[in-house]
Structure 1
Amino acid sequence: MKKRNEKGFTLVELIVVMAVLAIISAIAVPRFIGVQDKAKEDADYATGAMIAKAAELYFAKEEDAVSPVLASELVTANYINGIEFKSETFKDYTADQVQVTFEGTGNVTVVASDGTDTDYLYPRSSGS
Protein backbone atom coordinates (compact mmCIF):
# COMPACT_ATOMS: atom_id res chain seq x y z
CA MET A 1 0.00 0.00 0.00
CA LYS A 2 1.15 3.41 -0.90
CA LYS A 3 1.28 6.00 1.80
CA ARG A 4 -0.61 9.19 0.82
CA ASN A 5 1.04 12.52 1.20
CA GLU A 6 -1.60 14.33 3.28
CA LYS A 7 -0.39 17.91 3.22
CA GLY A 8 -2.89 20.77 2.99
CA PHE A 9 -6.59 21.05 3.67
CA THR A 10 -9.56 19.38 2.11
CA LEU A 11 -12.26 21.36 0.36
CA VAL A 12 -14.73 20.56 3.14
CA GLU A 13 -12.36 21.92 5.79
CA LEU A 14 -11.91 25.15 3.85
CA ILE A 15 -15.68 25.56 3.40
CA VAL A 16 -16.25 25.04 7.14
CA VAL A 17 -13.63 27.69 8.00
CA MET A 18 -15.20 30.12 5.53
CA ALA A 19 -18.65 29.49 7.02
CA VAL A 20 -17.37 30.17 10.54
CA LEU A 21 -15.72 33.41 9.37
CA ALA A 22 -18.95 34.46 7.64
CA ILE A 23 -20.94 33.90 10.84
CA ILE A 24 -18.43 35.88 12.90
CA SER A 25 -18.51 38.71 10.33
CA ALA A 26 -22.31 38.75 10.31
CA ILE A 27 -22.27 39.33 14.06
CA ALA A 28 -19.27 41.67 14.34
CA VAL A 29 -19.81 44.12 11.46
CA PRO A 30 -23.25 45.44 12.55
CA ARG A 31 -21.98 45.86 16.10
CA PHE A 32 -18.96 47.77 14.87
CA ILE A 33 -21.17 50.06 12.77
CA GLY A 34 -23.44 50.61 15.80
CA VAL A 35 -20.44 51.60 17.91
CA GLN A 36 -19.36 54.07 15.24
CA ASP A 37 -22.83 55.61 15.03
CA LYS A 38 -23.00 55.99 18.82
CA ALA A 39 -19.56 57.62 18.85
CA LYS A 40 -20.63 60.13 16.18
CA GLU A 41 -23.76 61.00 18.15
CA ASP A 42 -21.76 61.40 21.37
CA ALA A 43 -19.33 63.68 19.49
CA ASP A 44 -22.26 65.83 18.39
CA TYR A 45 -23.50 66.14 21.97
CA ALA A 46 -19.96 67.14 22.97
CA THR A 47 -20.11 69.80 20.25
CA GLY A 48 -23.35 71.03 21.84
CA ALA A 49 -21.59 71.29 25.22
CA MET A 50 -18.75 73.22 23.56
CA ILE A 51 -21.27 75.63 22.02
CA ALA A 52 -22.87 76.10 25.46
CA LYS A 53 -19.49 76.94 27.05
CA ALA A 54 -18.67 79.34 24.21
CA ALA A 55 -22.06 81.02 24.72
CA GLU A 56 -21.39 81.46 28.43
CA LEU A 57 -18.11 83.19 27.56
CA TYR A 58 -19.86 85.25 24.87
CA PHE A 59 -22.55 86.49 27.25
CA ALA A 60 -19.96 87.24 29.94
CA LYS A 61 -17.77 89.33 27.63
CA GLU A 62 -20.26 90.99 25.27
CA GLU A 63 -22.27 93.64 27.11
CA ASP A 64 -24.87 94.07 24.37
CA ALA A 65 -25.47 90.32 23.86
CA VAL A 66 -29.11 89.27 23.95
CA SER A 67 -30.38 85.74 24.43
CA PRO A 68 -31.15 83.69 22.39
CA VAL A 69 -28.19 83.75 20.01
CA LEU A 70 -27.45 81.62 16.97
CA ALA A 71 -24.30 79.52 16.89
CA SER A 72 -23.35 81.31 13.67
CA GLU A 73 -23.05 84.53 15.72
CA LEU A 74 -20.60 82.75 18.03
CA VAL A 75 -18.59 81.72 14.98
CA THR A 76 -18.64 85.27 13.58
CA ALA A 77 -17.52 86.68 16.95
CA ASN A 78 -14.67 84.07 17.06
CA TYR A 79 -15.89 82.28 20.16
CA ILE A 80 -15.90 78.99 18.24
CA ASN A 81 -14.19 78.09 14.96
CA GLY A 82 -17.11 76.37 13.33
CA ILE A 83 -19.62 73.61 13.73
CA GLU A 84 -19.68 70.28 11.96
CA PHE A 85 -22.04 67.51 12.97
CA LYS A 86 -21.33 63.87 12.15
CA SER A 87 -24.31 61.77 13.28
CA GLU A 88 -27.45 61.06 11.30
CA THR A 89 -29.49 62.97 13.91
CA PHE A 90 -27.64 66.28 13.50
CA LYS A 91 -25.73 66.09 10.18
CA ASP A 92 -28.15 68.32 8.24
CA TYR A 93 -28.01 71.20 10.74
CA THR A 94 -25.88 74.28 10.14
CA ALA A 95 -24.68 76.95 12.57
CA ASP A 96 -27.63 79.12 11.49
CA GLN A 97 -30.01 76.43 12.75
CA VAL A 98 -28.44 76.05 16.20
CA GLN A 99 -29.92 78.38 18.81
CA VAL A 100 -28.41 79.03 22.23
CA THR A 101 -30.58 80.29 25.08
CA PHE A 102 -28.69 81.76 28.02
CA GLU A 103 -30.39 82.23 31.39
CA GLY A 104 -27.33 82.64 33.57
CA THR A 105 -24.13 80.68 34.07
CA GLY A 106 -24.82 76.97 34.12
CA ASN A 107 -28.28 77.44 32.64
CA VAL A 108 -27.70 77.22 28.90
CA THR A 109 -29.80 75.38 26.32
CA VAL A 110 -28.55 74.52 22.84
CA VAL A 111 -31.22 73.46 20.35
CA ALA A 112 -30.93 72.55 16.67
CA SER A 113 -34.05 73.20 14.64
CA ASP A 114 -34.88 73.28 10.94
CA GLY A 115 -38.38 74.64 11.50
CA THR A 116 -39.92 71.18 11.46
CA ASP A 117 -37.79 69.10 13.82
CA THR A 118 -36.14 70.24 17.03
CA ASP A 119 -33.27 68.33 18.62
CA TYR A 120 -31.64 69.20 21.94
CA LEU A 121 -27.85 69.28 21.88
CA TYR A 122 -27.28 70.63 25.37
CA PRO A 123 -28.36 69.63 27.90
CA ARG A 124 -28.77 66.26 26.34
CA SER A 125 -32.42 65.29 25.99
CA SER A 126 -33.76 62.60 28.29
CA GLY A 127 -34.45 60.27 25.38
CA SER A 128 -30.74 59.93 24.54
Structure 2
Amino acid sequence: MKQTNNKGMTLIELLVVVVILGILATIAVIGFGTIIEQSKDRAFVANAYTFKEAAEKYYLSSGSFTTEINSDPFTYELLVGSGFLELFKDPYTNNMMPLNGFDSQVSIVRENGNLTYYICYIGETRKLCENDGTGIQFENISTDKIKSNSN
Protein backbone atom coordinates (compact mmCIF):
# COMPACT_ATOMS: atom_id res chain seq x y z
CA MET A 1 0.00 0.00 0.00
CA LYS A 2 1.35 3.38 -1.01
CA GLN A 3 1.34 6.21 1.55
CA THR A 4 1.36 9.88 0.63
CA ASN A 5 2.83 12.76 2.57
CA ASN A 6 0.11 15.44 3.09
CA LYS A 7 1.91 17.56 5.70
CA GLY A 8 2.82 20.39 3.29
CA MET A 9 -0.66 20.51 1.87
CA THR A 10 -2.19 21.37 5.24
CA LEU A 11 0.09 24.39 5.68
CA ILE A 12 -0.70 25.67 2.18
CA GLU A 13 -4.42 25.24 2.80
CA LEU A 14 -4.11 27.16 6.05
CA LEU A 15 -2.29 30.03 4.32
CA VAL A 16 -4.93 30.17 1.57
CA VAL A 17 -7.70 30.36 4.17
CA VAL A 18 -5.90 33.15 6.06
CA VAL A 19 -5.40 35.14 2.84
CA ILE A 20 -9.06 34.71 1.85
CA LEU A 21 -10.22 35.80 5.31
CA GLY A 22 -7.95 38.86 5.10
CA ILE A 23 -9.41 39.84 1.74
CA LEU A 24 -12.97 39.39 3.02
CA ALA A 25 -12.21 41.42 6.15
CA THR A 26 -10.78 44.25 4.04
CA ILE A 27 -13.86 44.31 1.82
CA ALA A 28 -16.14 44.29 4.88
CA VAL A 29 -14.29 47.19 6.54
CA ILE A 30 -14.42 49.29 3.37
CA GLY A 31 -18.12 48.52 2.88
CA PHE A 32 -18.90 49.24 6.52
CA GLY A 33 -17.15 52.62 6.32
CA THR A 34 -19.25 53.56 3.29
CA ILE A 35 -22.45 52.55 5.07
CA ILE A 36 -21.53 54.66 8.11
CA GLU A 37 -20.77 57.71 5.94
CA GLN A 38 -24.08 57.34 4.06
CA SER A 39 -25.92 57.09 7.39
CA LYS A 40 -24.30 60.31 8.58
CA ASP A 41 -25.30 62.03 5.32
CA ARG A 42 -28.91 60.88 5.73
CA ALA A 43 -28.95 62.07 9.36
CA PHE A 44 -27.64 65.48 8.24
CA VAL A 45 -30.42 65.77 5.65
CA ALA A 46 -32.97 64.64 8.27
CA ASN A 47 -31.79 67.51 10.50
CA ALA A 48 -32.41 69.87 7.58
CA TYR A 49 -35.97 68.50 7.20
CA THR A 50 -36.59 69.00 10.92
CA PHE A 51 -35.18 72.53 10.68
CA LYS A 52 -37.57 73.36 7.81
CA GLU A 53 -40.56 71.90 9.69
CA ALA A 54 -39.72 73.97 12.77
CA ALA A 55 -39.53 77.14 10.66
CA GLU A 56 -42.89 76.33 9.12
CA LYS A 57 -44.48 75.76 12.54
CA TYR A 58 -42.97 78.98 13.85
CA TYR A 59 -44.37 80.88 10.88
CA LEU A 60 -47.81 79.28 11.24
CA SER A 61 -47.91 80.26 14.91
CA SER A 62 -47.00 83.86 14.18
CA GLY A 63 -48.87 84.58 10.94
CA SER A 64 -50.76 83.15 8.04
CA PHE A 65 -49.68 82.17 4.57
CA THR A 66 -51.69 85.01 3.04
CA THR A 67 -49.06 87.67 3.70
CA GLU A 68 -45.99 88.30 1.61
CA ILE A 69 -42.94 86.58 3.00
CA ASN A 70 -39.72 88.24 2.02
CA SER A 71 -38.62 89.07 5.51
CA ASP A 72 -35.71 87.95 7.62
CA PRO A 73 -35.00 84.23 7.51
CA PHE A 74 -35.76 81.89 10.39
CA THR A 75 -32.45 81.14 12.05
CA TYR A 76 -31.38 78.12 14.07
CA GLU A 77 -30.89 80.40 17.08
CA LEU A 78 -34.42 81.84 16.75
CA LEU A 79 -36.12 78.45 16.42
CA VAL A 80 -34.23 76.86 19.32
CA GLY A 81 -34.69 79.95 21.50
CA SER A 82 -38.43 80.02 20.86
CA GLY A 83 -38.87 76.32 21.64
CA PHE A 84 -39.74 75.14 18.13
CA LEU A 85 -36.49 73.20 17.78
CA GLU A 86 -34.08 71.39 20.07
CA LEU A 87 -30.34 71.59 19.70
CA PHE A 88 -29.09 69.34 16.90
CA LYS A 89 -26.29 66.84 17.23
CA ASP A 90 -23.91 67.06 14.28
CA PRO A 91 -23.83 63.48 12.89
CA TYR A 92 -20.25 63.88 11.64
CA THR A 93 -18.72 65.04 14.94
CA ASN A 94 -21.36 63.92 17.50
CA ASN A 95 -21.15 67.40 19.06
CA MET A 96 -24.25 69.39 19.94
CA MET A 97 -24.65 72.38 17.63
CA PRO A 98 -24.34 75.61 19.64
CA LEU A 99 -26.85 78.42 19.22
CA ASN A 100 -24.34 80.86 17.78
CA GLY A 101 -21.50 80.56 15.33
CA PHE A 102 -23.47 78.74 12.64
CA ASP A 103 -25.55 80.74 10.17
CA SER A 104 -28.16 78.06 9.47
CA GLN A 105 -31.42 79.52 8.25
CA VAL A 106 -34.68 78.82 6.46
CA SER A 107 -36.24 81.43 4.18
CA ILE A 108 -39.87 81.27 3.10
CA VAL A 109 -40.46 83.21 -0.09
CA ARG A 110 -43.66 83.79 -2.07
CA GLU A 111 -42.90 83.08 -5.73
CA ASN A 112 -45.67 83.15 -8.35
CA GLY A 113 -48.29 82.88 -5.62
CA ASN A 114 -46.67 79.80 -4.05
CA LEU A 115 -44.51 79.50 -0.97
CA THR A 116 -40.98 78.27 -1.63
CA TYR A 117 -38.63 77.18 1.13
CA TYR A 118 -34.89 77.76 0.95
CA ILE A 119 -32.56 76.23 3.48
CA CYS A 120 -28.95 76.77 4.37
CA TYR A 121 -28.05 74.24 7.06
CA ILE A 122 -24.49 74.47 8.35
CA GLY A 123 -22.80 71.92 10.59
CA GLU A 124 -19.30 71.85 11.99
CA THR A 125 -17.75 70.09 9.00
CA ARG A 126 -20.49 69.95 6.34
CA LYS A 127 -23.23 72.18 4.97
CA LEU A 128 -26.33 72.12 2.78
CA CYS A 129 -26.08 75.50 1.03
CA GLU A 130 -25.21 76.89 -2.36
CA ASN A 131 -21.54 77.74 -2.86
CA ASP A 132 -22.22 81.43 -2.19
CA GLY A 133 -23.89 80.61 1.16
CA THR A 134 -27.46 81.15 0.00
CA GLY A 135 -30.14 78.60 0.66
CA ILE A 136 -30.95 75.63 -1.55
CA GLN A 137 -34.54 75.29 -2.68
CA PHE A 138 -35.96 72.73 -0.27
CA GLU A 139 -37.36 70.46 -2.98
CA ASN A 140 -33.76 69.95 -4.19
CA ILE A 141 -32.35 68.84 -0.83
CA SER A 142 -30.55 65.49 -0.98
CA THR A 143 -27.39 63.86 0.31
CA ASP A 144 -25.53 64.67 -2.92
CA LYS A 145 -25.96 68.41 -2.14
CA ILE A 146 -23.87 68.13 1.06
CA LYS A 147 -20.62 70.08 0.78
CA SER A 148 -17.56 70.43 2.93
CA ASN A 149 -17.78 73.33 5.34
CA SER A 150 -14.66 75.44 4.96
CA ASN A 151 -15.35 77.57 8.04
Structure with more relative contact order (C-alpha pairs < 8 Å, separation 6 or more): 1
Moved more, 75-84 or 104-113: 104-113
TM-score (norm 2): 0.62
**Amino acid paired to 2:13:** E
- Could you tell me which runs of 5 or more consecutive residues in structure 1 were left unpaired when the two chains were aligned: none
2:77 maps to which residue?
A: 72
Could you give the per-residue CA deviations for residues 14-60 of structure 1, whole angstroms, max 9, x where no partner exists? 21111001111222211110111011111110110110011000011
Q: Deviation at 1:122? A: 6.6
Alignment of 1:1-128 (within 5 A): 10-63=10-63, 66-87=71-92, 94-96=98-100, 97=102, 98-103=104-109, 107-113=116-122, 119-120=128-129, 123=138, 124=141, 127-128=144-145
Aligned partners of 2:25 and 2:116: how far apart in 1? 46
- Could you tell me which runs of 5 or more consecutive residues in structure 2 were left unpaired when the two chains were aligned: 64-70, 130-135, 146-151
* C-alpha spacing 1:75/1:92, structure 2 compared with 1 (3 Å): closer
The answer on whether the counterparts of 2:45 and 2:143 sit within 8 Å (CA) in structure 1 is: no
Could you give the per-residue CA deviations for residues 50-72 of structure 1, whole angstroms, max 9, x where no partner exists? 10011000011125xx5312112
TM-score (norm 1): 0.71
Task: Number of aligned residue pairs: give it.
Answer: 118
